[in-house]
Copies of this chain bind each other. A is one copy, B any other.
Amino acid sequence: MFTVDIRSRVPIYEQLVKNITDLITSGALSPDEQLPSVRSLARDIGINPNTVQKAYQDLENKGLIYQAAGRGSFIAPGDALTQAVIEGKLKALNAPIKEAAYAGIKKVTVMELVDQIYSEEQKL
């Protein structure tokens, strides 16, 4: 369920963050569901527990999960979760839009792109 490419140049903990974020977005992980423990996940994918801890900490900062000492780590409750997910996705949109604006690409062009992608998505 959780995999990382140890040889990739993108940090392992970021891969994990993306990995889990995607599982949440797709609904594979539901609100309040328990995540594997830091140690067990580290053992499973063959990395150091500190690295998993860093990924979990990152996810907690983003409001996607919460960690409780002595009990484990859990997906955030539904209401807080959807809000956190939306904030994260919009934030990720910020930089590339600015880039486009700065490069002189017209607003209509970007708007058309958005429109097109949403139309395609609807067909699925």
Contact = CB atoms under 8 A, between A and B. Distances in A.
Contacts of A66: 9
Main SS of chain A's interface residues?
helix
B7 A74 contact: yes
A105 to B, nearest CB: 6
Interface residues of A, number: 45
Nearest to A104: B26
B61 A32 contact: no
Given A100-B93, A101-B118, A115-B107, A11 B86 contact: no
Interface of A: 6-9, 11, 22, 25-26, 32, 61, 66-71, 74, 77, 85-86, 89-90, 92-94, 96-105, 107, 109-111, 113-115, 117-118, 121
